A and B are shown apart, each in its own frame.
Chain A
């Protein structure tokens, strides 16, 4: 059995040599049909006109080599456009084009083939950008056609005009004939060329510029001069999101979900291997509809604390948070970060007899400030002792970002999103007390008996209720969304006609 081939010999090697030496490289582009699936070879930018792959089971005795050959339709046309095999874009070198062909032994008056090349015409209106096909070789199968199944090994010198230029070409082998129903087979095509196509679009390959050598073109690299950074991924993808908390857990409050309004934007910086290099996070304490001094933090679910090199930017003023040397909170089995231990440190209370900040329309507005909180996972390509964090693995868990508050300076009194797990420092004795119905063993967490949460993550900046306005009074589709388990009004938080009672929504 012949070698399973689509021989693009060490393409990385070829590219390297071409990139750095500018010289020509001896290589071959081959097609032996042994994929058994024409679609796969078409994916590699080969093209077929009326030609199918046939197995030795389908056409016993006619397969030229291996298990498969390509077979033309009945050759009853003298048009070169009826039956053909066409290469991907190639850069040609000196040498001979080789292939094997035979007829099926069926009847016919004449059978012949011709070989063509076409250059690349970038300005061509056709999607293929192929220029005119120019014939440079022809072969006539000897008569009689009927009964002729001889295998012919064709060897054709690559035309001089194609060799050692920077131009790219396609080569087409066309089969023609008249009379009868005989077909032709072709196999073991070898071209002394360098593959120069770019699947899946299959236009000529463009050499990339990669200043930092990380394998990502400068055009796609958001850090083109930094080999250790490559992409920015954001959560949420557009603008900021908001986390809205009620802070009287385990008791219900006024359901205005403004006890802490925290805008967030997470920026995951990855390298070319998809490893998390750093997180550059922004948090904006936009409103505090409470008098309790609440802290805010988050866990990166599944990330061990020692996968973090260091953190920067937390605001810890109350002396109640213990951190490891790398900045993660101590005594946590998963990387947990306390960003601020008293939200009032970043958004002072309005004062003047008003509680909190930015939830009472009559009270003066306090301009929010941004917390820039960074987490470093890798430095100069070297991860923290706990190993590299793969971004795509991290986000598999829907609760990978697990934000929470702890209320009234009681570190263990955590409030998380519905069904999000508590940290190791949460005091679980609060569970199932007052209005809370958390049952960790059943996966029910931070929800009441009727499954109401104390916190929500919104995927865009939330226009929150004014003080003591229940969210179902301010956001008129919230109730429908919740009662239909999210089937209706997934956009309940948007400013659409009929969605809001604007008198109940805080405006700056």
Chain B
């Protein structure tokens, strides 16, 4: 009886050991850092919480000198504001919180929403008429 119990215990221990080794070999987990100073961070990471958008505005050639305020905003937060003449082409860099996914560009009564993915926005005031 004693020998049988010992055998069962030994088998159970060996089984547990094998299982643990299996888990370890299939799911290697890095040691979780418990301190910031133990983190392993990419040298390219800039620790910035903002992102950059390049805004290109294509104006209308020959348009009258008509200046209004070009505004880039999101949910009431204004990131850019400049007096813009609709016959000009301009490129501006705008900085927004990295969490902002869409911005609204307004110019007088005109407005258009843009995704910030890709970091570039092209606002073309020249319409595209259907082919005739």
Interface residues of A (CB under 8 A from B): 6, 8, 11-12, 35, 37-40, 42-44, 48, 50-52, 73, 195, 198-201, 203, 205, 215-217, 220, 230-231, 233-238, 252, 255, 270, 272-274, 391-392, 395-396, 398, 417-419, 435, 444, 447-448, 450-453, 456-460, 470-473, 478-479, 482-483, 485-486, 490-491, 493
Contact = CB atoms under 8 A, between A and B. Distances in A.
B33 interface: yes
Interface residues of B, number: 58
Nearest to B75: A238
B24 interface: no
Nearest to B61: A40
Given A451-B42, A452-B41, A483-B40, A39 B49 contact: no
Interface in B53-92: 60-69, 73, 76-83, 86, 92
Nearest to A419: B46
Contacts of A450: 37-41
B36 to A, nearest CB: 4
B132 A233 contact: no
B43 interface: yes
A482 B43 contact: no
A457 B97 CA distance: 11
Interface of B: 33-50, 52, 60-69, 73, 76-83, 86, 92-99, 107-110, 125-129, 131-132
A457 B48 contact: yes
B90 to A, nearest CB: 9
Contact of A39 (B50, B66, B68, B127): B127
Contacts of A444: 43
B37 A35 contact: no
A220 B69 contact: yes
A78 B82 CA distance: 49
A448 B108 CA distance: 49
B42 A457 contact: no
5 contacts: A39-B126, A231-B69, A395-B93, A417-B47, A452-B37
B60 A255 contact: no
Shortest 10 CB-CB contacts between residues of A and residues of B: A43-B60, A237-B77, A52-B132, A255-B36, A451-B41, A11-B64, A6-B62, A485-B45, A238-B77, A220-B69
Nearest to A12: B65
Nearest to A14: B64
Contact of B108 (A198, A230, A252, A451): A198
B95 A395 contact: yes
A90 to B, nearest CB: 12
B109 A201 contact: yes
A445 B49 CA distance: 18
Question: What is the interface of chain A mostly: helix, strand, loop, or mixed?
Answer: loop
Contact of B41 (A236, A417, A470, A483): A483
Contacts of A419: 46-47
Given A39-B128, A39-B129, A203 B33 contact: no
Contacts of A216: 67, 69, 83
Given A40-B62, A199-B60, A233-B80, A482 B45 contact: yes
A483 B44 CA distance: 11
Contacts of B36: 255, 452, 470-472, 478-479, 482
A435 B37 contact: yes
B68 to A, nearest CB: 7
A94 to B, nearest CB: 22
Given A419-B46, A482-B45, A233 B65 contact: no
Contact of A35 (B34, B61, B68): B61
A237 B132 CA distance: 45
Contacts of B44: 485
A457 B48 CA distance: 7
Nearest to B78: A237
A484 B86 CA distance: 41
B17 to A, nearest CB: 32
Contacts of A199: 60, 63-64, 66, 86, 125
Contact of B129 (A42, A252, A457, A460): A42
